[in-house]
Amino acid sequence: MKPLLGILITTLMTLTPGMAADEAAPGFGDGDFSLALGAGMRSINEDIAESLYGKNNLVYSLDLAYSAADFVDIFIHTDFFKVNGETTFTGESTSLSIVPIEAGMRLRLSGHRLEPNLGFGAGYYMIKDEIDIAGETFTFKKNQVGFFIDGGLRLYVTRTLFVFAQGRFTFLKVKPEDSTDEDETGIIYYPERDLGGFLVSAGLGIRF
C-alpha cells in the first residue's frame, strides 16, 4: 500500500506544476455526470470457492454517476464475473456467473486532483451456476438482493479525465432451494452459498 501511495503522490506532483496559481480556475471533477470503465479481480467468500474456481478471477465493470449535491454522487453500477472450474473429488466441470445491477450513494472527499471516495448501496444479483453430473449439465439460476460498501481513489489527469482504483465488499448469500435444470430432466438440491466477496479494480473515467 505504501509503494502505491508513493507512486500516486509522485504522479500528483509531476502533473500539477503551478496548480494553485489560478484560484479562479474550474475545480477538478467538474461536471454533473461521470462514466467509468474498469477491470480487476474478485474473490468469493465461501471456503470451497478457491478449490473450485481458483483465485484472483477477472471481473469487468461499468459505473455511471450523477452529482446530486456537492461531493455527493448517486450511481448505478454493473459488472460481469464468470469463472470455470472443477469439483474437488470427481473432477466434474462447473461454472459460475454473477451479473449485478447496483445502485448507491458515494461521498467524494475532495475537490482536488487526488479524490478519495466512500460509498454504499444495494443490488439485484443475477446468478447462474452450472455443474456437470454423470455427463448431464444442471443449470441453476437465482436472482438475489445483496448489499455492498466501497471506497477508492480517483486521480484527475485533466479537469475531467481520471484514472481510478476501487475496492468493494459485497454481502450476498443465496438461500437454499430445490432447483430444476434448464431441460427439466431432474431436480437436485441447491445448498446455501455465500457468493459475496472482495473486488479490487482499476480503470479510466470521465466527468461531463
Cα–Cα distance for residue pair 24/91, rounded to 1 Å: 65
Question: pLDDT digits over 119-141, tens only?
Answer: 999 999 998 888 777 777 778 88
Q: Which helix (H) or strand (E) holds 115?
A: strand 114-133
Sign of the CA dihedral 118, 199, 2, 34? negative
Cα–Cα distance for residue pair 78/63, rounded to 1 Å: 7
Contacts of 69 (CB under 8 A, 6+ apart): none
Mean pLDDT to the nearest integer, 86-100: 79
- Our CA dihedral for 35, 41, 42, 48, rounded to 10 degrees, sits at 170
For the chain, give the mean pLDDT.
80
Strands 33-42 and 57-69: what pairing?
Answer: antiparallel
pLDDT of amino acid 154: 94
